[in-house]
Amino acid sequence: MRVVAENLGVRYSSSGDWALEEVNLCFEPGTVTLLSGPCGSGKTTLLHCLNGIIPHLVEAETGGRVLLGQTGTEEAAVSGVSSLVGTVLQDPEAQIFNLRVEDEIAFGCENLGLDPQVIQERVQDQGRRFGLAPKARTAILSGGQKQRLVLASVLAMDRPLLLLDEPLAHLDRRGAALLAALLRESRTAGRTVVAAEHRLDLILPLVDRVVWLEQGRVRADLPAREAAGRLPARDLPASVGPSPGPTGPPLVALARVDVVSGGRTRLRRVDLTVAPGERVTLLGPNGAGKTTLLRTLAGLCRPDKGTAIRNGPAPGRGVGFVFQNPGYQLFMDSVRAEVEIGSPSAERTRELLDLFGLWELRERHPHSLSEGQKRLLSVAAAVAPEPALLCLDEPTVGQDSRSLGRLLQALDQTLDRECIALVAATHDPRCALALGGRCLWLEQGRVRERGGADLARRYFCRELDGDGD
Amino acid sequence: MLGSLVPAPRSALHPLAALGLAVVFLSLGLAVRPAEVMSLYLAGMSVLILVLGYRRPWLGVLKFVFPAGAVVGLITWLVTGDRISLVLVLERFYLFGVTTSLVAAMDPGDLSRALNRVRCPRRVSLGFLITVRFIPVLKAEMDRIREAVRVRGLRLSWKRPGQAHRVLLLPLVVRLIHISDTLALSLETRAFSAPGRPTALHRPGFTWRDWVGLPAGLGLVAATVWRLLR
Amino acid sequence: MTTRDIVFLALVAACVTAAGFVAVPLVGAMPLPGMRSMAAAFFYGFFICIGLLKVRKRGAVFLVALFNGLVLLMMSWLMLANNLIAALLTELLVLIFFRDFRTDRAVLFGAGLYMCMSLPASLVLAGWLGGPMIARFLARPGVVGLIFLATAALSFGGAWCGLKIGRELAKAGLIRS
């Protein structure tokens, strides 16, 4: 199905600026198009226009039109548009409401009134493809499995237009390989696919065309093979500076540590020491134990076997921890107050707000910030009490390379000056390569390999090749 | 990987049959007075639900119902000095437990489908499913928020309720708004409002348990009413 | 009501249900009638207030009560009936005094009142379950009055906290002020 956006403009009722302006694009059947650009550039807004969410479900002033084949999204009801478009939104956890996998996959097909026999076949097919047991409870799936379930439930509807909003955000290399196969198959089947994604390294080899958006306008529209060297996002921070080595006795030393939770052994016989000023990056697929290891280092969970010796750092005292979703850690009514509660002095608060580029936003409510700004704020607040150890869990989810670059530069300055040790868990090569330091490759709770930047490069090359488990 | 995920249990009776029996059993139980009739009524119900395959939920519910009933009953006995009041309280708690075990074993997905089949508005069954699905999610969300408070080094105190309620509830409410907005968009883009009657992957049907359980349950109710009237 | 409204109210219902599951067992064995309602009153007031601040429409309290009641139906139909009666009374009183939930005062009133309206039916249920001793308690108007006052204070306190958080959400642009 041919999809055309003509002179498209969108302005949200809560904002004075146009989120999209004069967008003219055409998406041909059998092609995969990547929408990219910084956070807030209008990628999600454009996807919402293509699937009729704007103007039917989100209030906004609109101009121009979107045609899905011969159907205009403005004239058709949401139900009419949804019979042509399959959409995978961000945040898989928030999109699943059925209690069983098969019910979630079947939901869209049931709404379209398909024959139960056909639905049964599609449930089986998609379950097999994404490695999901149809009778399993949705509540016990991991983040990566939930992302796969959302993809499966949309694909089961078999729509001619497929829209994907950050589909790689929660996927490990096996999930990414499944997505790659799906994109190839969609192209062959003549589907039109439009995906918004920040992880260009993973997705560029899989797309035909790249549309680069900035401030709501199309800045570049290129074939993928030409885009590789020309996009602004390719200027990634290769490294934010030489990684300092360890100084002094270890802050935390884990020896042959096992951690069991929810009836599963999350870590098995892990040894790791972290010294002041050191940087460690944790790599591995979904469910490998990266977050559990971070939590153990921070003292948030106790080892069931082995020993954890701490030379100072404990939760709330000497340890800063930034979660995958920074929203959980923002409690106060202004950006300044958020940094102030942990900061020893007003000077330090001001200095950190400056360093992280938040001074201009100091009176804003933390929850009114963009995702990238929230991440910067949560890291600034974690660094404010001058911790000895800083743990970052997937700091790049939802970040464009510009805000990631700013975060890494600010971190680099603070960590070196104050000799703070950093441990970060990440799926993102941009982050792993920029942080430098030691790398640990975890699989099924065990340390599979230890090394430096070479290990990170090797790990992510495997990921790009789609080397499955 | 597939083997590690545990399948959920399916209920023994058709959801609407189980619900109907529970309503009738409890309603009549509220009206039964003579102790010997109540004992026979409870015994009949117990045999029936065990035959129908409700042993596990029955045992599960009893673990909560008997201790609570015993505490309230003993205090009642001490206050009133009447041993019969202990028996009365225990009987009522047990009746509550038996009817609860009938409905507690129900699969919420099956109940939702059964409600759809009897033309209950889809938005009601959808709301019910979302409520059930997100109760455990909320617990996980609260755990994350408590952990976030801990790592930020914030000390919550009942002496400063303003800070405590802000720190615990603000992130939760923000997350609720985010989840609801995303979920609503996800539902609409998966054709939730599409015209026409939706089909269903599974339709809960009547089994031998329903054909046996319903007449037997109604028979027990009729016999009890007859005994009361006599 | 839009799908978005229904989803948000269902999540609010999940919150009050979860809060009830945590608060009620703490006082479950206390042989005082109405203790269960009292224990959960603050959270019911808070979350219903948040629900009303985002969905300022007639019928919102009824829907929260219905979704919550359908889960409680898995324990007893009496709890569903109790919820629906309380919600209908609350909606009716808001309709009489405020017409709808457009003002913050109407939201505070509706959110605080719901738990108070559910108390009479809760007391009847407690009286039936608890036998003669509870019936004796209930026969004393002082005891019933105290329970009612405490429940109302907690419920309106929760609703007031909900309003405070709601103002911040409006400042953050997450709900309309």
Contact A94 B179 (CB under 8 A): yes
Give me chain A's average pLDDT, please: 84
Is the CB of residue B177 less than 8 Å from the CB of residue A327? no
pLDDT at residue B2 greater than cutoff 60: no
Q: Which range (A195-204, A272-281, B157-166) has the least confidence?
A: B157-166
Strands A20-27 and A32-36: unpaired
Strand ranges (DSSP E) for A249-322?
252-261, 264-274, 279-283, 305-310, 314-315, 318-322
* pLDDT tier, C67 (very low <50, low <70, confident <90, very high otherwise): very high
CB contact under 8 A, A57 and C4: yes
pLDDT at residue A469 tops 50? no
What average pLDDT does this structure show over A159-175? 82
**Helix, strand, or coil (residue A250):** coil
Is residue B188 less than 8 Å (CB to CB) from chain C? yes
CB A453 within 8 A of CB A274: no
Token pair of A63, please? Answer: 């101009």
Q: b/e map of A189-223 (b: 16 or more CB within 10 Å)?
A: eebbbbbbbbbbbbbbebbbbbbbbeebebebeee
Tens of pLDDT along A436-452? 788 999 998 899 999 88
Residues A368, C172: C-beta atoms closer than 8 Å = yes
Distance CA C134, CA C127 (A): 5
Distance CA B128, CA B111 (A): 9
List chain C residues with CB under 8 Å of B137: 14
Cα(A291)–Cα(A441) distance, integer angstroms: 13
Contacts of B159 (CB under 8 A, 6+ apart): none
> Helix (H, G, I), strand (E, B), or coil: what is residue A425?
strand
Q: What is the pLDDT of residue A380?
A: 92
Contacts of C164 (CB under 8 A, 6+ apart): none
As a whole number of Å, the CA-based R_g of chain A is 23
- Whether the CB-CB separation of C55 and C5 falls below 8 Å is answered with yes
Taking CB atoms and an 8 Å limit, are C11 and B180 in contact across chains? yes
The owner of tokens 């599979």 is A448
Tokens 């403005």 found at? A74
Interface probe, candidates C17, C62, C133, C154, chain B, greatest B C-beta count within 10 A: C133
State whether C173 and A14 contact (CB < 8 Å): yes
Write out pLDDT tens, residues B148-183. Answer: 888 887 776 666 666 777 788 889 999 999 999 999
A31: alpha, beta or left, given left = phi > 0 and alpha = psi -120 to 50? beta
Phi then psi for residue A281, to 5 deg, are -115, 130
Chain A positions touching B189 (Cβ under 8 A) are: 51, 53, 82, 85-87, 89
Q: How many CB atoms lie within 10 A of CB C137?
A: 21
Model pLDDT, residue C128: 67
Degrees (nearest 5) of the Cα angle B148, B154, B159? Answer: 125
Contact A328 B188 (CB under 8 A): no
Any A CB within 8 A of C171 CB = yes
Using the predicted structure, report yes or no on whether residue A235 has a pLDDT greater than 60.
Answer: no
pLDDT at B3: 33
Q: Which residues of C touch B123 (CB under 8 A)?
A: 1, 3, 6
Q: Does A314 touch chain C (CB under 8 A)?
A: no
Q: What is the mean pLDDT of residues B190-210?
A: 83
Residues 6+ apart with CB under 8 A from A6: A24, A64, A65, A66, A67
List of E strands, A275-333? 279-283, 305-310, 314-315, 318-322
* Distance separating alpha carbons of residues C114 and C89, to the nearest angstrom: 8
Q: What is the pLDDT of residues A355-378, one digit of tens each?
A: 888 888 888 888 888 777 888 899
**CA-nearest residue of chain A to C176?**
A14
> Of A286, A89, A93, nearest to A175 (Cα)?
A286
CB within 8 Å: B128 and C74: no
What part of A 352-371 touches C (C-beta under 8 Å)? Answer: 365-368
Chain A residues touching residue C173 (CB < 8 angstroms): 14, 365, 368
Using CB atoms, pick whichever of B72, B165, B169 lies closest to residue C31.
B72
Mean pLDDT of A297-325: 82
Share of residues in chain A with pLDDT > 70 (%) = 92
Shortest Cα distance, chain C CAs vs residue B203, angstroms: 20
Exposed e or buried b per residue across A118-148, where buried means at least 16 C-beta atoms within 10 angstroms of its C-beta: ebbebbeebbebbebbbbbbbbebebbbbbb
Which pLDDT belongs to residue A462?
67
Query: Are C83 and C72 within 8 A, CB to CB?
Result: yes
Mean pLDDT of A132-138: 87
Return the pLDDT at A313.
66
Is residue C74 within 8 angstroms of chain A, CB to CB? no
What does the pLDDT look like over A287-301, one tens digit per residue?
788 989 999 998 888
Inter-chain residue contact B89 with C131, CB threshold 8 Å: yes
- Residue of B133, B167, B172, B189 to mutate for A, most A C-beta atoms under 10 A: B189
Q: With contacts defined as CB-CB under 8 Å, which chain C residues touch B126?
A: 6-7, 10
Name the minimum distance, in Å, from the CA of A55 to any CA of chain C.
15
Contact partners, residue B153, CB within 8 Å, separation at least 6: A315, A316, A317, A342, A385
Indicate yes or no: CB of C173 within 8 angstroms of CB of A368.
yes
CB of A14 less than 8 A from some CB of C: yes
Question: The pTM is what?
Answer: 0.83
pLDDT tier for residue C48 given thresholds of 50, 70 and 90: very high
> Distance (Å) from the C-alpha of residue C92 to the closest C-alpha of chain A?
30
Query: Residue A366: closest CA among chain C residues belongs to which residue?
Result: C172
Q: Quick check: A22 pLDDT over 60?
A: yes
Give chain C positions within 8 Å (CB) of B180.
Answer: 4, 7-8, 11
| Beta-ladder partners of A9 | A63
Contact of C140 with chain A, judged by CB distance below 8 Å, is answered with no
Please compute the mean of the pLDDT values over residues A77-99 and round it to a whole number. 84
Pairing of strands A252-261, A217-223: unpaired
- Alpha helix segments (H runs only) across A314-441: 335-340, 346-355, 371-383, 401-418, 429-435
